[in-house]
Structure 1
Amino acid sequence: MRYLIFLLILTVSCTKEDKKPNIVFVFADQWRAQSLGYAGNPDVLTPNLDQLAKEGVNFTNAISTSPVCTPYRAMLLSGLYPLKNGMFMNDVTLNPESNSIAKILKKEGYNTGYIGKWHLDGNGRSAHIPEERRQGFDYWKVLECSHRYNNSNYWGNDDQLHSWEGYDAEAQTKDAIAYIEEQSKGENPFCLMLSWGPPHAPYQTAPQEFQDLYADADIQLRPNVPVEMSEKTKAHLKGYYAHCTALDTYIKQLQDAIKLANIEDNTIFVFTSDHGDLINSHGETKKQRIYEESAKVPFIVKYPELLGKEGKSSDFLLNTLDIMPTLLGMSGNPIPADLDGENITDIMLGKKPDHREAALVACIQPFGQWSKKRGGREFRGIITKQYTFAKDLAGDWLLYDNIKDPFQLNNLVGTEAYKSISSELEILLMKKLETLDDEFFPGTYYTSKWNHHIDETGTVPYVN
């Protein structure tokens, strides 16, 4: 009898040890890398993310390959460059037959869930998304896109339209915690993606308790904000930071739930964002650009069982396309051969050297808030550990030395002292584009190729 009990205990122990890690992937909409306490921002209150950065790997050079909502999300799920999946602008539909990280994980025995903003189904921002277009996610509480953060709607597994009570990010987090608690009792590993709408505008809609934290704050502006926009920018930042601090609070709730469920060591937890927000830096708003405030995002990954419990900082040039293969690699799951990014697990573990010379940033078709009438342009560019370099269809467009000029105030294109550096960076960029079969044609070439119906501004019209 004692022998049988010993075998049973041994079997349960081995099963737990052999269980693949859970994945909890949390990403905010439009949270720029500079708006975090651990990144050196003296104004924004993010104590829980500051703590998370001390426990995981904090990537200081995480770059959004195409810094706008739909292209990022399609790369995250499919692992493919936007010219390969057609998802290079908002409000278009990811092919239901596309491979996705959720479909791969389901085949490997994972339960899958998605909560929050989707923005991958161009059939109306409030439209129902049927199961065949959910890319392998089973648990489903999703709306295509909304920036109404209080009492917003979502579609559930019952194919009925529901409303989140109060501030939706808080309600979504509570639902995510309930999912984590339930899944932790089961035998299968799980993958949950939680997609928050804030801190994307409107900025003044966070719960009042968080807005009150900044009511009398003396907000410091980045030096690249024009003086005439100072007061407006300070008001925006107070609201933006209120959203950030609210989300930071929910990070603690998620971390506490994972610890209480006793799955912390065997859970890959990621916090990141799809792209940044200019908030009047360079006199501009929103995203799509290669400027630091638009293209750089926070990225922290915590996985104690593999990465240890002591946090560290990495300046590896992480691109959006690296996320899917790395999550699959870290979790011991198969990685499709056709992905455009790289599994960097061994680089994080110090088993392979950091070989990355540059991270790619691309705007294939400017649209919407950055239409051509508003100064938008097609560009391809790279960010290295020192420089930002970009070309548009007319030639060299931007060159910044980010060490000497961290706020990108001096465009060095055409200056004699930087001609050789421009040439070297152009060679690096062309190599990147060649590996991705990107011939850098005008955006309308690609909208025609993928049959995206655009209006006179170059934007795919959408209905709410």
Structure 2
Amino acid sequence: MPNSSRPNIVVFFTDQQRWDTTGVHGNPLDLTPNFDRIAQSGTHFYTTITPQPVCGPCRSVMQTGLYATETGCYRNAITLDPSHKTLAHYFNVAGYETGYIGKWHLADIEHRGAVPVEQRGGYKTWLASNLLEFVSDAYDARLYDNDGVEHRLPGYRVDALTDAAIRYIDGVKENPFFLFLSYLEPHHQNHTDSYPAPEGYEARYRSRWLPPDLLALGGTAPQQTPGYYGMVKRLDEAFGRLLDALKSMGIADNTVVIFTSDHGNHFKTRNGEYKRSCHDSASRVPMAMCGPGFDGGGQIRQLVSLVDLPPTLLDIAGITIPEQMQGHSMLPLVRNPQDPTWQDDVFIQISESQVARALRTAQWKYCVVAEDADPWHDCDAETYQEAFLYDLTNDPYELHNLITYTSHQHIAEEMRARLLHRIATVENAHPTILPPETYVTFGQMTGSTTFPYIPTDLTDPR
């Protein structure tokens, strides 16, 4: 990719969107025609995994390129230390206009709306709320500008943020810009524990297709997926509007657009809420890119993590990637999808529902849990217990936990060694991982172990 072009960059960031809401991943409901088009004509990262399946920690990773234990934001309600350099700092130094619109979730918890200047991650233009889910509703979008002044934007919240993004781009398009556009949808509305779709959209998706895990495990999916699907549909329409706006401004050919999400949604099947689980329903997200260097890139099957996105964004702009960033630029992978040096596993940290660590390869998912740790107050543990092992080739929706099967202990041993290596590399820690106390032979056990979600302070953002 020619760095001299100084391309514009837009991150279109949704919240709590499952990977299989998209048509390119087999969803038959035509929820995401714009995403699907970009995935097919641009570059589609087929298996993208979040490094932390919960809002604040993942967002700290996205801004810094560091895992959540290294940013200090290992759970929600922890402020990102202003001493951490964010993407905005690097883009500012490189002469870019930088803008942030939408949900932040990295400031002091008492700041639900307006965010102090020192806690905004260095973005020059600001129109956001720290905890958007607590200060706004589906038809009552409230964002705060550079001066901390509240703006009540008209329209459905997705449309309100999209309008603001288009206005911002139109105002800075004469200079290179980096925009992080962070939606709340399709996250639930916390105070109602519901998924408020635009008027008329929920009715379209009642009694429609469900992924196999939700069909098997139930949870709240029958009641909540219609609204959730309606939110996903409107997000995709907004994505199309944004792409149209770039084209009409004459800057589409020099603008890289990235569509992705912070984590998925298992609809209270794996624990008592929606995320904070090792399973792909919570940890796998959609991601596609278009624009210079990505058009015609095709489908990339190698595993990528969202921790790889910050160094990639800097690389796109020709900005030197800081040594402390723990991910890797995906540009070499785009140029050579069969790159033999690319990682063949991704590392996941889990908090709040449990203190856990997981490793995912193309075929296997392996997860360990610190059963005696406090999931709200402990960021790590000295001892973990093996909890999950899934064969993703034969059980892609993770319905059969193999961790106690004697037939699969050689796989667990290999994954244990690999996970310990990842923990040592990322966290500079050397915990003990204990195998199951008892084993069964194939056929004696089916199903999947789940863990309850135990809330702490109910005023904390969940």
- TM-score, normalised to structure 2's length? 0.85
Pair 1:404–1:103, CA change in 2 (3 A): same
Give the letter for the 2:132 counterpart: S
SS at match of 1:332: coil
Match of 2:88 among 94, 97, 102: 102
Deviation at 1:379, TM superposition (A): 0.9
Aligned partners of 1:26 and 1:195 also within 8 Å: yes
Deviation at 1:17, TM superposition (A): 9.0
CA distance in 2, matches of 1:84, 1:314: 28
CA deviations 1:390-413 (Å, max 9, x no partner) are 111242110000111112111111
Aligned partners of 1:226 and 1:282 also within 8 Å: no
SS at match of 1:396: strand
**In the alignment, what sits opposite 2:213?**
224
Deviation at 1:282, TM superposition (A): 4.4
Aligned partners of 1:387 and 1:399 also within 8 Å: yes
CA deviations 1:204-242 (Å, max 9, x no partner) are 42211423432xx44123333366847x52231110000
Aligned partners of 1:211 and 1:242 also within 8 Å: yes
**In the alignment, what sits opposite 2:336?**
350
Q: Number of paired residues?
A: 419
SS at match of 2:35: helix
| Structure 2 residue 12 is the aligned partner of structure 1 residue 26 | yes
List gaps (5 residues or longer) in structure 2. Answer: 371-383, 433-453
CA distance in 1, matches of 2:316, 2:150: 36
CA distance in 2, matches of 1:168, 1:354: 42
**In the alignment, what sits opposite 2:61?**
75
| Structure 2 residue 153 is the aligned partner of structure 1 residue 164 | yes
SS at match of 1:436: helix
Aligned partners of 1:19 and 1:189 also within 8 Å: no
Aligned partners of 2:77 and 2:461 also within 8 Å: no
Deviation at 1:248, TM superposition (A): 0.6
What is the correspondence of 1:399-414 to structure 2 with a 5 Å cutoff?
399-414=389-404
Q: State which drifts further: 290-299 or 129-138.
A: 129-138
CA distance in 2, matches of 1:181, 1:337: 34
Give the letter for the 1:154 counterpart: L
Match of 1:189 among 159, 176, 184: 176
List gaps (5 residues or longer) in structure 1. Answer: 1-15, 367-375, 443-455
CA distance in 2, matches of 1:107, 1:182: 20
Aligned partners of 2:44 and 2:288 also within 8 Å: yes
Aligned partners of 1:122 and 1:462 also within 8 Å: no
| Structure 2 residue 187 is the aligned partner of structure 1 residue 213 | no
CA deviations 1:92-134 (Å, max 9, x no partner) are 1111121011001100000000000000002325242122221
| Structure 2 residue 360 is the aligned partner of structure 1 residue 380 | no
CA deviations 1:243-285 (Å, max 9, x no partner) are 0000110011000111112212221100000000001444753
| Structure 2 residue 121 is the aligned partner of structure 1 residue 135 | yes
CA distance in 2, matches of 1:201, 1:440: 37
Match of 2:303 among 317, 324, 330: 317
**In the alignment, what sits opposite 1:450?**
none
**In the alignment, what sits opposite 1:55?**
41
Give the letter for the 2:274 counterpart: K
Aligned partners of 1:65 and 1:320 also within 8 Å: yes
What is the correspondence of 1:272-421 to structure 2 with a 5 Å cutoff?
272-282=260-270, 285-303=273-291, 305-307=292-294, 309-350=295-336, 352-353=339-340, 355-363=342-350, 365-366=351-352, 376-393=353-370, 394-421=384-411
Aligned partners of 1:347 and 1:353 also within 8 Å: no
CA distance in 2, matches of 1:59, 1:155: 33
CA distance in 2, matches of 1:102, 1:141: 14
Pair 1:438–1:333, CA change in 2 (3 A): same
Deviation at 1:82, TM superposition (A): 1.5
Pair 1:211–1:460, CA change in 2 (3 A): closer
Aligned partners of 2:23 and 2:36 also within 8 Å: yes
What is the correspondence of 1:249-268 to structure 2 with a 5 Å cutoff?
249-268=237-256
CA deviations 1:77-103 (Å, max 9, x no partner) are 111111221101111111112101100
**In the alignment, what sits opposite 2:444?**
none
Give the letter for the 2:359 counterpart: I
Aligned partners of 1:380 and 1:440 also within 8 Å: no
Q: Which structure shows the higher helix fraction?
A: 1
Give the letter for the 1:401 counterpart: D
Q: State which drifts further: 127-136 or 138-147.
A: 127-136
Pair 1:213–1:260, CA change in 2 (3 A): same
SS at match of 2:19: coil
CA distance in 2, matches of 1:284, 1:340: 31
| Structure 2 residue 166 is the aligned partner of structure 1 residue 177 | yes
Which one has the largest radius of gyration?
A: 1
Give the letter for the 2:329 counterpart: N
Deviation at 1:458, TM superposition (A): 5.3
SS at match of 1:336: coil
Aligned partners of 1:124 and 1:462 also within 8 Å: no
Give the letter for the 1:248 counterpart: D
Give the letter for the 2:227 counterpart: G
CA RMSD of aligned residues (A): 2.3
CA distance in 2, matches of 1:438, 1:320: 20
CA distance in 1, matches of 2:156, 2:84: 33
Match of 2:222 among 216, 230, 234: 234
CA distance in 1, matches of 2:21, 2:177: 30
| Structure 2 residue 45 is the aligned partner of structure 1 residue 45 | no
Deviation at 1:354, TM superposition (A): 5.2
Q: State which drifts further: 218-227 or 388-397.
A: 218-227
Percent sequence identity over aligned pairs:
30
Give the letter for the 2:358 counterpart: G
Deviation at 1:316, TM superposition (A): 1.8
- TM-score, normalised to structure 1's length? 0.85
Aligned partners of 2:43 and 2:299 also within 8 Å: yes
Deviation at 1:42, TM superposition (A): 1.3
CA distance in 1, matches of 2:312, 2:406: 41
SS at match of 1:42: coil
What is the correspondence of 1:198-209 to structure 2 with a 5 Å cutoff?
198-202=185-189, 203-209=194-200
